[in-house]
Structure 1
Amino acid sequence: MAQGPSTSDASGAAAIDPLLPDAPGPDSESALPSYADVSVKIPGLVFQLRRDARGRLQLTELVGSDPIAAVLSPLRDVLDIRQRLGDLMGEAYTEVMRSVEHSAHWLSPITTRLRLACPESAPRWYSIQAIPERLDDGIVWHGVMVDIEEQVAEEQRLRYLSGTDELTGLANRRAFMGQLERAVSLSTRHATALSVMLLDLDHFALINDTWGEGLGDRVLCQLAALVASQLRQEDLLARMGSDEFALLVPLTPAGRSRELGERLCQSAARHDFGIGRQKVTVSIGISDFVRGGNSAQLMQSVHANLMDAKRLGRNRVVHRWAPWKE
């Protein structure tokens, strides 16, 4: 008995489209209802992209209710959408087309994400996944396009929190130490100056005990803002924990950083932190990086200088050569 046409793999087993089970061939008139049926179950758009033997790209199917459909639907009437995609995707176009070429060559899935401008709203992030199928006259991709704006926003929030002090909004210890490692590497490679400063708020426990932790937190935030206002864009200020702050000062020898430290001490002493007549002061230790050393030695040296500033009466800056230089 004669049977209808079917596709088979090398073993003779019938091939199954992972996105569209039992879907008819791309040229079938009933293809659109099949895509529509699938789109009901997917929170986004279902599409079919075809590339002919001449390399022209055509958007042959697009179903779904996402707002971006209003932007993409007109492309179904375009014989070759590559230029229109370039206008729509901007800088992302090159990377997307690289994924398309790789998929066409290896018949591997396309998995990418990009940001697209939506009608009457800010640009949003979308995830695109598509499975290729080779045809006699080209390749067709069966794909889905899903709005992932909320997912990307959450990823960005978590990345921000992983490197940010929640109270002050400054970099945290983890972020500072990572940046310090990179700065030490650059200083070693290019023989450039690098210094680090540790700044500790004097008698902070007394401030908390007298005025309460809420006002103590306000003092920390004010101090962070006061210091940050006197830094260059390339400097990195971080809260290392409790009342201790660190400052990474690239391309600057410690002698110059000491001048900055003195200004910070004076600024803190003059500033009104809103705790009556109680004076807020800071102690600062500074060390410069020496080629042949490492970040751990640098932090050990600057911490020793901070302890000396405390021991010598607080409200002062101490800068001494690192132990391994002597």
Structure 2
Amino acid sequence: MYIKKILLAIVLIGLVVGGIFAYYVYQAIFSPNTNFESETTTLFIPTGATYTEVVEKITPLVKDIYSFDRIARKKGYANNIKAGKYILKQGLNNNEIINLLRSKNTPVQVSFNNQERLQNLAGRIAMQIEADSLSLINVFQDTAFVEKNGFTTESALAMYIPNKYEFFWNTSASQFRERMLKEYKRFWNESRINKAKAIELSPLEVITIASIVQKETAKIDERPRVAGVYMNRYKNGWKLDADPTVIYALKKHRKDWQTVIKRVLYKDLELDSPYNTYKYAELPPGPIAMPDISAIDAVLNYEKHDYYFFVANVQNFGYHKFAKTIQQHNRNKKQYIDWVNKQGIKR
């Protein structure tokens, strides 16, 4: 009888201990374990991060780091860290958090436009993915890659078509570059290639002219007409006489890309640079900026007309007055110069 009581007591104690253990396990796995007030929070795990580094990053985001650590080790996550951007929702339990960190790397929207140089592009992209600007500019300027794919150092910017793209945050610099090459080839589909051939330009020449159009007017509806002016000049062997190319040449010559030049002076037109289209009839060796898709398509579908000149329209700011003859252009130009002088714009 006494032995039976002892056995019963042992069983009861075992059940209690087992129940407590089961409850602890259940709590550790399935109880909410987040520690932030917002609906969601974002966790970035860098490439090559150790488990210790992940624990340091996630500690402020969970109530009980010890239970998280136990479950993470049990599920093998500690030995299988994956870099990326992870969005944690309020109220997730340890099991859900670990499953999310295993397989829910969230893409980011990467966008860029109007970059003047590869350096500017690198800085812009570095703000949106893990790769830093130095690694990006290094791969952008990699001579072997550039030449292999039909570009030069001066024209390499043309490969990056401005748009919104989806990337994983932990995309490397070389992965970004390879994706952009694919997007460039996709952009230059059969239709655009045929249009370029029809106007006797290569894709790079189209983008170079488009970059000038981009700088000349921010009005999308005016770009085909501006493109038509430059195509008329180019097809007839004229110099393009584009102020934006002179501004680019001045910045490059001075190695000062931060300066703002609002007015091109006559002395500036004498600068000896392949980018100075007042001095050379050839197209610049590459784009002077990153043109929007609208500017590229404006060149491919340029307006057919007899205009050879244009100047800013001071009666309708943002747009331009177009002229067929130099006499008419000089009258339009006088209105603009009078307005500039009245505003006191000297440079």
Greater relative contact order, per chain length (Cα 8 Å cut-off, separation 6+) = 2
Q: Normalised by the size of structure 2, how large is the TM-score?
A: 0.29
Structure with greater helix share of residues: 2
Q: Normalised by the size of structure 1, how large is the TM-score?
A: 0.30
